[in-house]
Chain A
Amino acid sequence: MDNTAKKRWVSLYVENDVGVLAKISGLFSGKSYNLCSLTVGETEDPTVSRMTISLFGDDKTFEQIIKQLNRSVEVIKVLDFTDLPIHKKEILYIKLHSLRRDEMEDVFRSASVFGITVTDYEKGSLILECVKTESENDDVIKYYKKHFLSRMEAVRGGSVAIESVSRSDR
């Protein structure tokens, strides 16, 4: 891997058929491409699914990945989102339990500062819902891990992305 190696983003339109996800993920594993995350869901057209894929690679490998995706019979369109203005968010849930009263207060305060929603609550337990960029979610997890490592559970969904309409910041 040369010094052009970096994180890249691809948006993929594929046929909404059985086996297509296996085909695409198999392409990455079979050819030893470095896949970071992959999300998939149906679009406004139920026959089309859209994948958002993040991966790590240099220019040459990335060019090959794009070509390999394009030559797959099930792929309708490949968009390179790496340097485009896009909106990109990931959902993250954090469940905390066995919290003391003072800790609970601290969690509410931190959630408000970080802009996180408390979406479920029981005495001593709660669930945080966090829709942010991947790196912001990394920071959020880092913070709660520091304080509640043995009393937390985190699940994250991988990013979904769409091209901007007018905004160029992300």
Chain B
Amino acid sequence: MKIKGTQLFVKALIEEGVDTLFAYPGGMAIDLFDALYGETAFRVVLPRHEQALVHAADGYARATGKTGVCLVTSGPGATNLVTGIATANYDSVPLVCFTGQVPTNLIGNDAFQEVDIVGICRSICKYAVTVRRREDLGRIIKEAFYIARTGKPGPVLVDFPKDIQLALGSDEYPKEVSIRSYKPSTGVHMGQLKKAAEMLASAKRPLFLIGGGVNISRGGEAMTKLAEQLSVPVVTTIMGKGALPTDHPLYIGNMGMHGNVASNTAVSECDLLFSIGTRFNDRITGKISEFAKNAKIVHIDIDAASISRNIVVDVPIVADAKEAIEKFTEIAVPPRHGTKEWVERLQELRAQTPIAMNTEGRLNPQDVIAAVNEHFPEAIVTTDVGQNQMWTTQFLQLRGRSRLLTSGGLGTMGYGLPSALGAKLGVPDLPVVSISGDGGFQMNEQELATAVCEELPVVICILNNSYLGNVRQWQEMFFGGRYSCTCLKKRKSCAQWCSSPNAQCPPYIPDFVKLAESYGIEGIRVTDRSQIAQAFERAKATQNKPTLIEFIIDRELDILPMVPGGNPLSEMITQYKKEGK
């Protein structure tokens, strides 16, 4: 039977098992939306901005492990996806993004809402393609889903011209896919794995460094089992956090720029760094020549291009993290010198140098996140980018099905709220908490409407210091307190060289409680630590709609410890004395 391209599109989504489509209509997608009208096989969600739309699909994908699917129109609809696609690409999130396009005979004519979105996205996605012939449509969609979710997962963009949407053609959606130029690596090189096992057996101070790859491959349980079997301590990157339960005795903490002292010391002192699923990004390594200087390095990663790129490794292994961990568990034996002393030293160090904020009894982010831990023992937590993100990665506990969703690679402000909505849609039975700063929240605050319309009871936390706090911290530490464009309360009439809050500052820009009320939801302002528990209790009791909680925190708090960019991990700033404030 001959059917339209739009009908094959709907059929393809059903066959791919899509249960949620994130979609925003427009002129070049209107036929596709007509085909979706009344469709009951999946849920169609309408966010309020295409950037938030793709972040929502991303949050859905990270929370569920399934592929997030987006549909937007051509031109501005498509270009609004760009930041979200790059975000997903950096953090290896499987997405398939469909963009409407002007008819093929108008491509290149500078037609209304025409843009070369494939050209724009080429370097920020895993694969991008324009459907040029109706007979290719089924194959291209099949390939898009396959490419997005296999190997190192990532976003795929399918540009879908209007004439192809309308053209009649075969109703067959392919069952099989075979791409001669794309063969994701499978299996594990056992010889290399044995070599790694020998190195581990003879190591005196071995350390696992776990990156986001382990979480992407759902390898957390296998990893926990392996660490326990070998009694080898574990540190994680922020993307790897949660691979081991954070209260596990072998888990030392996050390492890197804002990691804890014990974890960064562990990396500097270990004699074997067994790393799995990390890119050794500059935020992780600090000064490259000093990184794990005393250690042999084993590196397992699905992406050959990540191996020996930033850090030269001794044993490279290209493999899926979970598969490699499971195979390694079969052959690995505990280090023959024993690890008791080494583990105890790190545990002691961790106990002696906890990350702690002291605000003399005033409300601080640590209190807020401790309360999240207490009120939501199992939850999906999303963050924005900056101080709110770093504090969350420092204090959040993850156990059981808990997950942390954060824009690690690209560092995209505005990610927190929409990704929380996607996560809640994908995993409705778990509480979902978003933690943002007041800066990042304002980048996608329009998504309160989506949360209301989709009846999503997410708990929206805003840590409000009225600053772009992370940049402000750098300006304070490294730029002599010259707060250039970081105060979110600064008005035209303010003194030009103001460098600290004072009595003339306006109270709220904006008033988030009133903003919440304007969407018909409860907004709670917390100014004292005694009010935290009650606010979370109210949020938990709220059904079918979100609750916004604004925490007014000290304006000039810092994230510590900190390894300034380019410094060795051993040189951490653990205390910072504020001058005259």
**In this complex, what residue of B is CB-closest to A77?**
B181
Q: A23 at the A/B interface (Cβ < 8 Å)? A: yes
- Total B residues in contact with A, Cβ cutoff 8 Å: 21
**In this complex, what residue of A is CB-closest to B152?**
A71
Q: In the complex, A63→B127 CA distance in Å?
A: 22
Return the contact of A71 from the options B122, B304, B308 (Cβ within 8 A). B304
For residue B127, which residues in chain A have a CB less than 8 angstroms away from its CB? 73-74
Verify A19–B118 contact, CB threshold 8 A.
yes
Once A68-B305, A71-B303, A71-B304 are accepted as A-B contacts, the answer to whether A22 and B181 lie under 8 Å apart by CB is no
**Least Cβ distance of A110 to chain B in Å?**
46
Within 8 A of B (CB), among A1-17: 14-15
For residue B308, which residues in chain A have a CB less than 8 angstroms away from its CB? 60, 63
**Least Cβ distance of B302 to chain A in Å?**
10
Return the contact of A73 from the options B118, B123, B182, B309 (Cβ within 8 A). B182
**Least Cβ distance of A25 to chain B in Å?**
10
Verify B118–A14 contact, CB threshold 8 A.
no
Q: A70 at the A/B interface (Cβ < 8 Å)? A: yes
Q: B179 at the A/B interface (Cβ < 8 Å)? A: yes
For residue A71, which residues in chain B have a CB less than 8 angstroms away from its CB? 152, 303-305
For residue B147, which residues in chain A have a CB less than 8 angstroms away from its CB? 73
**In this complex, what residue of B is CB-closest to A27?**
B123
From DSSP, what is the main secondary structure of chain A's interface residues?
A: helix
Q: In the complex, A111→B427 CA distance in Å?
A: 76
**In this complex, what residue of B is CB-closest to A14?**
B181
Contact with B along A71-87 (1 / 0, CB 8 A): 10111100000000000
Return the contact of A74 from the options B123, B130, B181, B309 (Cβ within 8 A). B181
Q: In the complex, A30→B86 CA distance in Å?
A: 14
Q: B180 at the A/B interface (Cβ < 8 Å)? A: yes
For residue B38, which residues in chain A have a CB less than 8 angstroms away from its CB? none
Verify B304–A30 contact, CB threshold 8 A.
no
**Least Cβ distance of A68 to chain B in Å?**
6
Verify A76–B304 contact, CB threshold 8 A.
no
Contact with A along B176-213 (1 / 0, CB 8 A): 00011110000000000000000000000000000000
Verify B305–A64 contact, CB threshold 8 A.
yes
**In this complex, what residue of B is CB-closest to A19?**
B118
Verify A23–B122 contact, CB threshold 8 A.
yes
For residue A68, which residues in chain B have a CB less than 8 angstroms away from its CB? 305
Return the contact of B180 from the options A67, A70, A76 (Cβ within 8 A). A76
Verify A67–B304 contact, CB threshold 8 A.
yes
Q: A26 at the A/B interface (Cβ < 8 Å)? A: yes
**Least Cβ distance of B97 to chain A in Å?**
15
Q: A165 at the A/B interface (Cβ < 8 Å)? A: no
Once A14-B181, A15-B181, A74-B181 are accepted as A-B contacts, the answer to whether A64 and B119 lie under 8 Å apart by CB is no
Q: In the complex, A126→B560 CA distance in Å?
A: 74
Q: In the complex, A71→B304 CA distance in Å?
A: 8
Q: In the complex, A22→B152 CA distance in Å?
A: 22
For residue A73, which residues in chain B have a CB less than 8 angstroms away from its CB? 126-127, 147, 179, 181-182
Within 8 A of A (CB), among B386-402: none
Verify B181–A26 contact, CB threshold 8 A.
no
Q: In the complex, A76→B182 CA distance in Å?
A: 7
Within 8 A of A (CB), among B308-363: 308-309
Contact with A along B117-142 (1 / 0, CB 8 A): 01100110011111010000000000
For residue B309, which residues in chain A have a CB less than 8 angstroms away from its CB? 64, 67
For residue A18, which residues in chain B have a CB less than 8 angstroms away from its CB? 130, 132
Within 8 A of A (CB), among B104-127: 118-119, 122-123, 126-127
Verify A30–B130 contact, CB threshold 8 A.
no
Verify A76–B181 contact, CB threshold 8 A.
yes
Q: In the complex, A70→B147 CA distance in Å?
A: 15
For residue A22, which residues in chain B have a CB less than 8 angstroms away from its CB? 119, 122
Verify B181–A19 contact, CB threshold 8 A.
no
Contact with A along B146-173 (1 / 0, CB 8 A): 0100001000000000000000000000
Q: In the complex, A63→B181 CA distance in Å?
A: 20
**Least Cβ distance of A33 to chain B in Å?**
13
**In this complex, what residue of B is CB-closest to A47?**
B180
**Least Cβ distance of A42 to chain B in Å?**
16
Q: In the complex, A128→B136 CA distance in Å?
A: 46
Q: In the complex, A76→B181 CA distance in Å?
A: 4
**Least Cβ distance of A73 to chain B in Å?**
4
Q: In the complex, A30→B147 CA distance in Å?
A: 22
**In this complex, what residue of A is CB-closest to B132?**
A18
**In this complex, what residue of A is CB-closest to B306?**
A67
For residue A19, which residues in chain B have a CB less than 8 angstroms away from its CB? 118-119, 122, 128-130
Q: In the complex, A22→B128 CA distance in Å?
A: 12
Q: In the complex, A123→B132 CA distance in Å?
A: 50
**Least Cβ distance of B453 to chain A in Å?**
37
Within 8 A of A (CB), among B1-35: none
Q: In the complex, A67→B316 CA distance in Å?
A: 14
Q: In the complex, A68→B118 CA distance in Å?
A: 19
Most B CB contacts (10 A, CB to CB) among A22, A63, A67, A76 go to A67
A-B contact pairs, 7 of them (CB 8 A): A19-B119, A19-B122, A27-B123, A30-B123, A70-B305, A71-B152, A73-B179
Residues of chain B at the chain A interface (Cβ within 8 Å) = 118-119, 122-123, 126-130, 132, 147, 152, 179-182, 303-305, 308-309
Q: Which 6 A-B pairs have the closest CB atoms?
A: A67-B305, A76-B181, A73-B127, A30-B123, A73-B182, A67-B304
| Besides A71-B152, A73-B127, A73-B182, 4 new A-B residue pairs in contact (Cβ under 8 A), listed by A number | A14-B181, A19-B118, A19-B130, A22-B119
